[in-house]
Structure formats: structure tokens, C-alpha cells
Amino acid sequence: MRKMLAAVSRVLSGVAQKPASRVLVASRSFANDATFEIKKCDLHRLEEGPPVTTVLTREDGLRYYRMMQTVRRMELKADQLYKQKIIRGFCHLCDGQEACCVGLEAGINPTDHLITAYRAHGFTFTRGLSVREILAELTGRRGGCAKGKGGSMHMYAKNFYGGNGIVGAQGQIFEAYNMAALWKLPCIFICENNRYGMGTSVERAAASTDYYKRGDFIPGLRVDGMDILCVREATRFAAAYCRSGKGPILMELQTYRYHGHSMSDPGVSYRTREEIQEVRSKSDPIMLLKDRMVNSNLASVEELKEIDVEVRKEIEDAAQFATADPEPPLEELGHHIYSSDPPFEVRGANQWIKFKSIS
């Protein structure tokens, strides 16, 4: 009885501080928010950097958790579908790097523009596409976000320019740095440093691995890419920097991918299983957020488990759809070559095979 009264009084006193719209029916109350210390970022040409503490609301925390778990489970489902040969070609997974795409999105607006390389499934989701559309694109079906025409590396959404297959071009990035700085373009250059370029470690490929300094005259931040709050704060800082008219800025997110470079790379010929296991057990981004939330009473273990169950179901349903949805119709092979043009004829494998092309 006394315990119950104590619990009720805690609840009631909690109610008094919260806005009137808040309904408290649960037998347990959570904190509304909590303050966390985050790692200080290394700075290049900056007097000060992002704050070293941040406030995480329960609502945001649950949302980030759900999003990261969704990306994680979606990538693992893609792994499974690839091994079943339902996904073909190239498939570059980002499990381990969830804090990057989710943290980034948390620090920018939906109206900002984002472009990335081929490890793009996570960004496609955080930029607003559904798991259904993403998985159906991976399986090459008409319900895919690119109607099955693009595949893993070529997914697009509003203010999201893919998904691009051709990378490297180290010269090009320096050209981009130069013009962005010259014209003070509001551009955040982000390096997801997962320590390896395909099968080559950064030490074997880069004369300087301090990527956040490589913009030279462009200021830079080196960020703990496994901590979503760190990524969020750094992104907020970088975005504010750009929006204030100061020009471009660089962010190096130190992160890690559990899978190999792609599904055809086992990922253990150039790094040890011990290394992968160590990152998983000490720095997993989902685990880090979960521990923080549980330990500061922002959420309960059961509640997060419930989210896990919901996410699993969402992924299962999406995978079902992605496997059952039919392939695009053959008649559409020639569509979407040009934009805003009148229809024309497209040649097939010989002069007697013709396809119609509609914009």
C-alpha cells in the first residue's frame, strides 16, 4: 500500500511539472529528458566546436532508437535476401553505421539536400522512403522506389540525390572543396570513415588519415560516428555554420561497418574477426543509445524490446511485399530515358525489337 502511494505521489508530482496535454496512465513514469556528456570533437581551423553536453528528450530518443533499429534490421534482411539470391548484383550494407545516417538527419532539415555514394540504404530511409520501397527496389520489383530500374546503388527521394555507384575521384573532391570555399557555398562535406576503402585500410591508401583536416582552408570536425548524439550535435553545429554564410565545413564521422565492403566481400581477409567483435561489443550505436536511455530512465528495457518487435514485423512485412511484388513490365523497359519529351521509339536487341519510351 505504501509503495503504491509512493508511486502515485511520484506520478502526481510528475504531472504537475508537465504540460497539461500529457496523459499519465502508466504505472511507471519516465523522465521527460536527460542530459548527456558527449565526446569533444577534434577541430580544424575552428575556435570552438559543438557542445560537449546535449539534452535528449524521451520522444527523440525513442524515435532515434526506432530509426536505427529499422536501418539495422533492414540491412540484415537485405543480407538474407541476397544470400537467397533474391537480391542480385551489388549490395553494400551499412549496419554498424546507423548513428551516421540517423544522427545526420536529426541535425538537418528535410528541405536540405543530401547526396551520397553506394552505401546508401540507410540514407534512403532517413530521407523519407519506406522500408517497403527500399527492399522492393533491392529485389527489382515494380513497387521499388526506382520502379526496379535502379537497384541498390541508385535510389532517389525528394532532396536526396542517390545512391551513386562511381566513387574515388580524390581529385574531384579537392576541386569541390576549392569551389565551395571560393564561393562560400553552404555545403557540409562528410566523410564516413569506416577505416577501409573496400579491402584497403586507410593507412595504406591515404598519406594523411586526418580526413577532417584535408579540406585545408575549409574548417573541419572529427566526430564519434558511433554516438548518435555526437553526430547530431556536430551536424547541428556544422549546419548552423553553413547557414550563417561562412561557407563550407567538413565532418569526419569515425564509424565502422560490420559487413564487408559488399556482399561479395567476406570482410575478414583484411581485418580480424576480433576487431569486428570488439567494435560490436563496445561501440555498437544502438546499444549505446539503449544503455543511455535505460540508465537515465528515458525508457524501459521492455519498451525498447517492444519497439524491436514492431520493427521486426515492419521489416518482415516489407520483405514479404518485396518478394511477392511482380517485376516491372517489359513494356516499360524503354521508359524514362528523357524527361519532359514526347514519346519515341527505343531499339531493342535488334532492329525488329522496339520499345516505347515515355517520359
The residues facing 356 across adjacent strands are: 345
- Looking at the Cβ atoms of 57 and 201, the one nearer to other proteins is 201
CA dihedral in degrees (223, 226, 228, 233; nearest 10)?
-10
3-state secondary structure of 35: strand
- Looking at the Cβ atoms of 42 and 332, the one nearer to other proteins is 332
Please provide the DSSP assignment of 272-321 as one string: -HHHHHHHHHHH-HHHHHHHHHHHTTSS-HHHHHHHHHHHHHHHHHHHHH
C-alpha cell, 152: 541498390
* Nearest distance from C-beta of residue 324 to other proteins, angstroms: 15
* Nearest distance from C-beta of residue 291 to other proteins, angstroms: 36
- Looking at the Cβ atoms of 204 and 305, the one nearer to other proteins is 204
Please provide the DSSP assignment of 168-185 as one string: --HHHHHHHHHHHHHTT-
- Looking at the Cβ atoms of 183 and 338, the one nearer to other proteins is 338
C-alpha cell, 282: 563496445
- Looking at the Cβ atoms of 128 and 329, the one nearer to other proteins is 329
* Nearest distance from C-beta of residue 139 to other proteins, angstroms: 9
Among residues 189, 157, 192, the alpha carbon closest in space to that of 172 is found at 189
3-state secondary structure of 197: strand
- Looking at the Cβ atoms of 175 and 291, the one nearer to other proteins is 175
* Nearest distance from C-beta of residue 12 to other proteins, angstroms: 58
CB 30 within 8 A of CB 297: yes
User: Interface with other proteins by CB under 8 A: which residues?
Assistant: 88-90, 137, 140-141, 144, 146, 148-154, 164-171, 197-200, 204-206, 269-270, 327-328, 330, 332-334, 337, 346-353, 355
* Nearest distance from C-beta of residue 206 to other proteins, angstroms: 7
* Nearest distance from C-beta of residue 335 to other proteins, angstroms: 9
Distances (CA, A) of 135 to 32, 86, 97, 306, 326: 35, 10, 19, 23, 13
